[in-house]
A and B are shown apart, each in its own frame.
Chain A
Amino acid sequence: MKKNIVLFGLLLLVLSSCERDDAAFEGPALDDIYGPFVVLQDFDITDRSVDFEAGETTTFTALFSKQVDWEVQIKGLESGAIKSITGFSAELSTSNARWTGTTTEIPLFKEEMCAVELRVPSDTLVVYDTLNVTGVRNITGFVVADFENGFQPGWTGFVQSGADMSFNITDDIPAAQGSKYYDMGGAVDWDWLIGLIDFPATAYGAPHFPLSTDPANIYFNVMLYLPQGITNEVVLFQFREDDNGDNIYSENNEDIFSLEVKNLEAGWHQISLRYGDLATLVNGAPASPIGNGLYEPHKLFKISVLFLANPNSGYSQTLMDYLIFTTGGPLVP
């Protein structure tokens, strides 16, 4: 019997050496779900004058008594840009409420004063504050056009002699980026084409655009604005490649890839597409490639932007800004 008791004791000893999760409790704290909401540490901004261009960031901080859904919204008082940071937590800190100068709703932020709001919907808490952006963040990529310095040498345009034509650079409304944009508008009742603008690579000092060879890694980005009431706009982007490398584009022999944009909603929109996803279009319909059929961004010869509308549909207008090629992903505004 003694032997049995020893065996039994040994078993208990083995068992007592087992490990067990020593967390105080399982799951989220009930306090976080059902406890009262109290602001333990007031809302604050670590850097109220932030220079994103110099690599600075700013963090919003607050501490609550429980986990809640919260939203920090920053609105550019001049540009109208909006950045929204949301989360579900009891604390706002560097890990979940840091602003690097990006935008949620374009336009992009400018050097401007911004209004800041903290909202906790479950408690109707709203805190207002301000901060000053003294430098906008640098965006990496090849900028085709931002229209800040007017119509550049080498760019060419064509405008039909229709009614109310407005192919010009202006700043009537807040631009998507900077302060200026390109306004394309008019009514042409005999042709789909209202006007166009060409951006040849030669305008940038080389026969081809300085892009890498990987079409899966190159993204074309542009910002378009549709005024209220316009429904007939068609913006066609054409990308001509110098397939044979002779620094000349041969119509009907070399590739021309396209991106057609229409049926936009009112306001600014960012359009981004991977270069390798561009299509060959003939009269708006997909077609076989005209040239070698290879996507060769490093052989991009010319970009054309054609503004079109059904000739029976009357006046049309679209604003355009910030044509930029990015690498590795679409433009993060």
Chain B
Amino acid sequence: MKRIPLSIVFLCLASWLGAQKLEVKEVWASGYARSVLYADEYFNDSASDSTTAAKLMSGHTLVDLGINIKPSDKVFVQGMLRVRNDHGGFWGSGVTFDVRNLYLRGLIGNSFRYQLGDINYKLTPYTLFNSDEELSRYEPKVFQLMREMTRYDLFYNDDNSWRQQGATGEFGLTFKKYVDGVDFSFFTSRLNSAASTGLLDRLHSGGSVFVKQSDLLDFRLTYIDAFDILGTSSATNRYSNPVLTGGIGIHKQIQDWRLDLETEFGTSQEEKKVGESSAERQDYFSDIRFKMRYAPYNLSLSVAYQDVGAGFRSIGAQTKRLNFSNVPLAYQRIGDGQNLRPFGMLDIIRDASLYNTALSTSLMSYDPAYGNFRPYGASTPNRRNLILSANWEDKKGMAEIQVTGISGSEIQGQGTESIKQFNVVDAGMMIHMDKILDMKKEWLFNFGYSSEKTQRFGEADYEDIDLSNQVLSAGMEVEFIKDFQFLAGYRLMVSKGNEYLARKDLVGEVITFTPYEVDMQQDMFALGVRYNFSERSLINFQWTNYSYQDQLNLNDDHRLTDLSLIYRMNF
């Protein structure tokens, strides 16, 4: 976000409003506000540490004030300012002003919708899709509030769209015969600014055409490209990444069974030139998913086959949220040696500085301990997977269960012809105790477990890989007085084994593999009380205990406790 003086923004806004006064039909304010206070305490039982401060307090108050203007029935403008005051700022020295949102959207001829400025856009999981970050599934509610704030700050929306700056447009056509309708959607955004980076201007553009032939049959064609505009600077670096995908959906209702076949196939090309180095890649993927839903039992079953080539590249779908090169803000250095503290589960839910908001033209680095099977989401290259899943929900809403099993492998070996095998089991359960016991106040219990195993057996010992990651989650939320909730949650993460990390050059060619070993355990436990003023505002007080243990590097062992008070409201 660009930082500009608040007074200038308000002056511009006021003068603009003044000029438009006679024509403006509606103006209203909306926004978001929160106040956060963290009181952390640091413990180190494994190594002597007389240097790191034992206690640390931090917090802030912020308001996102959005001015919504509807000058006509077909035009809507929003400008949102963020005023943030870090606790401890003196006489306004800790205050920052940012423009958080600025866009204009409207309708042309009752058929063409457009938006200019800040846009949130997504296409398919292989073209433009902001995949969820690590350790975000089956999250107990007591941890969700911090993550929600982090995601809100980073524009990570529930629909997995990417926040970009540019323009979108969409329109649809309906037909009387042969085809029910055709929907068109397209966007363009600017990834690089030549003026600020010295590199070439880079655009990211694309769109999709969705053809609904009938309730039984539909087609989708998607194209997206990230490309440099020659001549916008003297830089010689070049990048382009066109991705073309298509798919068919076949749907059928047979008595109580709903059958859906959804497919997506596509190819990608990538050309990258950095200095004297250059690389070209092209590959394809296929994703075939068959779902069955038996309505009387609320039971869904699905089987899917995925094949994503090692050279498949799609920056809009493969860019990660978590940037594993970053370091945490809280207790950044620990120990007498003041070494960088490895970030962990607590940081992931509350530290926005660990995240990335720009699309990356390289496959970002990742830590296999946090997930080795699909670090880049569904479009993780070099994977061939068979996915089975089942989902059941009690008719009265008393319980929900979902189970997924994946058997996967690499398509191309990494430094050896032997390929890695992946076995994943993922299960989650939600129990609505209030419905089971017919209580009026809400009592929810949720459990989640995921296990991921990576193995490779080669001809030589040094080719062997055996890595095991497991995450266990359990949470409860109990309403004990109307609108008062007691929250508790626990999460355990265990990672043990070995892998190789691919080290790449500037254009993404693997230059070597470095051994990676891990024997680490993290756990996090929290207790909290929450009062919900309404659906849109709450106050939350909780205690969180976080522990990090690394058997291979005892100096990294530490424990943090955090008392937090959070007030949050949407208006």
Interface residues of A (CB under 8 A from B): 1, 4, 7-8, 11-12, 14-15, 18-21, 23-31, 33-35
Residue of A nearest to B261 (CB): A8
Kindly list chain B residues whose C-beta atoms are within 8 Å of the C-beta of A20: 283-284, 309-311, 411
The distance in angstroms between the C-alpha atoms of A14 and B500, with both chains bound, is 35
Kindly list chain A residues whose C-beta atoms are within 8 Å of the C-beta of B426: none
B412 touches A26 (CB 8 A): yes
B543 at interface by CB-CB < 8 Å: no
The distance in angstroms between the C-alpha atoms of A19 and B312, with both chains bound, is 12
B250 touches A25 (CB 8 A): no
B265 touches A30 (CB 8 A): no
The distance in angstroms between the C-alpha atoms of A173 and B371, with both chains bound, is 67
**Known interface pairs A30-B513, A33-B513; A25-B263 also in contact (CB < 8 Å):** no
CB distance from A19 to the nearest CB of B (A): 7
**Known interface pairs A1-B252, A14-B265, A19-B282; A25-B311 also in contact (CB < 8 Å):** no
The distance in angstroms between the C-alpha atoms of A13 and B411, with both chains bound, is 20
Q: Which of B252, B283, B413 has the most A CB atoms < 10 Å from its CB? A: B413
Kindly list chain B residues whose C-beta atoms are within 8 Å of the C-beta of A34: 460, 462, 515
Within 8 A of A (CB), among B439-474: 458, 460, 462-463
CB distance from B459 to the nearest CB of A (A): 9
Within 8 A of A (CB), among B376-395: 382
The distance in angstroms between the C-alpha atoms of A14 and B415, with both chains bound, is 30
B498 at interface by CB-CB < 8 Å: no
B 301-337 to A, binary, CB cutoff 8 A, 1 in contact else 0: 0000000011100000000000000000000000000
From the candidates A15, A27, A31, name the one contacting B460 in the complex (CB within 8 A). A31
A11 touches B217 (CB 8 A): no
CB distance from A24 to the nearest CB of B (A): 5
Kindly list chain A residues whose C-beta atoms are within 8 Å of the C-beta of B246: 11
B182 at interface by CB-CB < 8 Å: no
B460 touches A35 (CB 8 A): yes
From the candidates B263, B282, B510, B515, name the one contacting A27 in the complex (CB within 8 A). B510
Residue of B nearest to A10 (CB): B248
Kindly list chain A residues whose C-beta atoms are within 8 Å of the C-beta of B108: none
CB distance from A11 to the nearest CB of B (A): 6
From the candidates B263, B510, B511, name the one contacting A8 in the complex (CB within 8 A). B263
The distance in angstroms between the C-alpha atoms of A26 and B309, with both chains bound, is 12
The distance in angstroms between the C-alpha atoms of A33 and B515, with both chains bound, is 11
A21 touches B250 (CB 8 A): no
A21 touches B462 (CB 8 A): no
B286 touches A15 (CB 8 A): yes
B416 at interface by CB-CB < 8 Å: yes
Q: A11-B265, A18-B267 are in contact. List 20 more A-B contacts (CB 8 A).
A: A8-B261, A8-B263, A11-B246, A11-B248, A20-B309, A20-B310, A20-B311, A21-B281, A21-B309, A24-B412, A25-B416, A26-B382, A26-B412, A27-B511, A27-B512, A29-B415, A30-B463, A30-B513, A34-B515, A35-B462
Residue of A nearest to B251 (CB): A4
**Known interface pairs A18-B284, A35-B462; A25-B265 also in contact (CB < 8 Å):** no
CB distance from B214 to the nearest CB of A (A): 10
Within 8 A of A (CB), among B539-563: none
Kindly list chain B residues whose C-beta atoms are within 8 Å of the C-beta of A11: 246-248, 263, 265
From the candidates B217, B250, B282, B500, name the one contacting A30 in the complex (CB within 8 A). B500
Kindly list chain A residues whose C-beta atoms are within 8 Å of the C-beta of B216: 1, 4
Interchain Cβ contacts under 8 Å between A and B, 15 examples? A1-B250, A4-B216, A4-B217, A15-B286, A18-B284, A20-B284, A20-B310, A25-B413, A26-B382, A27-B502, A27-B509, A28-B510, A29-B415, A34-B460, A35-B462
Kindly list chain B residues whose C-beta atoms are within 8 Å of the C-beta of A28: 415, 510-513
Kindly list chain A residues whose C-beta atoms are within 8 Å of the C-beta of B510: 26-28
B417 at interface by CB-CB < 8 Å: yes
The distance in angstroms between the C-alpha atoms of A20 and B513, with both chains bound, is 23
B 405-428 to A, binary, CB cutoff 8 A, 1 in contact else 0: 000000111111100000000000
The distance in angstroms between the C-alpha atoms of A14 and B311, with both chains bound, is 18
A30 touches B412 (CB 8 A): no
B248 touches A8 (CB 8 A): yes
Within 8 A of A (CB), among B256-278: 261, 263, 265, 267
Interface residues of B (CB under 8 A from A): 216-217, 246-248, 250, 252, 261, 263, 265, 267, 281-284, 286, 309-311, 382, 411-417, 458, 460, 462-463, 500, 502, 509-513, 515
Residue of B nearest to A22 (CB): B412
Kindly list chain A residues whose C-beta atoms are within 8 Å of the C-beta of B252: 1
CB distance from B78 to the nearest CB of A (A): 41
A26 touches B283 (CB 8 A): no
The distance in angstroms between the C-alpha atoms of A7 and B509, with both chains bound, is 37
Kindly list chain B residues whose C-beta atoms are within 8 Å of the C-beta of A4: 216-217, 248, 250
The distance in angstroms between the C-alpha atoms of A158 and B530, with both chains bound, is 99
From the candidates A7, A19, A25, A33, name the one contacting B417 in the complex (CB within 8 A). A25
**Known interface pairs A8-B248, A19-B282, A21-B283; A27-B415 also in contact (CB < 8 Å):** yes
CB distance from A88 to the nearest CB of B (A): 11
**Known interface pairs A20-B311, A21-B283, A34-B462; A27-B417 also in contact (CB < 8 Å):** no
The distance in angstroms between the C-alpha atoms of A8 and B246, with both chains bound, is 11
**Known interface pairs A15-B284, A35-B462; A27-B513 also in contact (CB < 8 Å):** yes
Kindly list chain A residues whose C-beta atoms are within 8 Å of the C-beta of B462: 30, 34-35
Kindly list chain A residues whose C-beta atoms are within 8 Å of the C-beta of B511: 27-28
CB distance from A267 to the nearest CB of B (A): 34
CB distance from A34 to the nearest CB of B (A): 4
The distance in angstroms between the C-alpha atoms of A27 and B414, with both chains bound, is 6
The distance in angstroms between the C-alpha atoms of A302 and B409, with both chains bound, is 76
The distance in angstroms between the C-alpha atoms of A21 and B416, with both chains bound, is 15
Kindly list chain A residues whose C-beta atoms are within 8 Å of the C-beta of B267: 18
Kindly list chain A residues whose C-beta atoms are within 8 Å of the C-beta of B248: 4, 7-8, 11
Residue of B nearest to A4 (CB): B250
The distance in angstroms between the C-alpha atoms of A46 and B286, with both chains bound, is 53
The distance in angstroms between the C-alpha atoms of A1 and B259, with both chains bound, is 13
Kindly list chain A residues whose C-beta atoms are within 8 Å of the C-beta of B310: 20-21, 26
From the candidates B282, B509, B512, name the one contacting A33 in the complex (CB within 8 A). B512
The distance in angstroms between the C-alpha atoms of A4 and B219, with both chains bound, is 11
Residue of A nearest to B461 (CB): A34
Kindly list chain B residues whose C-beta atoms are within 8 Å of the C-beta of A21: 281, 283, 309-311, 412
CB distance from A274 to the nearest CB of B (A): 24
Residue of A nearest to B458 (CB): A30
The 10 A-B pairs of least Cβ separation, nearest first, read: A27-B510, A25-B413, A30-B415, A34-B462, A18-B284, A4-B250, A15-B265, A24-B417, A30-B416, A27-B415
Kindly list chain A residues whose C-beta atoms are within 8 Å of the C-beta of B382: 26
CB distance from A68 to the nearest CB of B (A): 13
Residue of B nearest to A32 (CB): B415
A25 touches B415 (CB 8 A): yes
The distance in angstroms between the C-alpha atoms of A15 and B247, with both chains bound, is 11
The distance in angstroms between the C-alpha atoms of A27 and B265, with both chains bound, is 27
The distance in angstroms between the C-alpha atoms of A250 and B1, with both chains bound, is 69
CB distance from B247 to the nearest CB of A (A): 8
The distance in angstroms between the C-alpha atoms of A120 and B138, with both chains bound, is 53
Residue of A nearest to B216 (CB): A4
The distance in angstroms between the C-alpha atoms of A14 and B245, with both chains bound, is 12
B416 touches A29 (CB 8 A): yes
Q: Which of A14, A20, A24 has the most B CB atoms < 10 Å from its CB? A: A20
B413 touches A26 (CB 8 A): yes
CB distance from A295 to the nearest CB of B (A): 30
CB distance from B465 to the nearest CB of A (A): 10
Q: Which of A24, A25, A34 has the most B CB atoms < 10 Å from its CB? A: A25
Kindly list chain B residues whose C-beta atoms are within 8 Å of the C-beta of A33: 415, 512-513
CB distance from A105 to the nearest CB of B (A): 28
The distance in angstroms between the C-alpha atoms of A25 and B456, with both chains bound, is 14
From the candidates A8, A24, A31, name the one contacting B250 in the complex (CB within 8 A). A8
Kindly list chain A residues whose C-beta atoms are within 8 Å of the C-beta of B263: 8, 11
Kindly list chain A residues whose C-beta atoms are within 8 Å of the C-beta of B309: 20-21
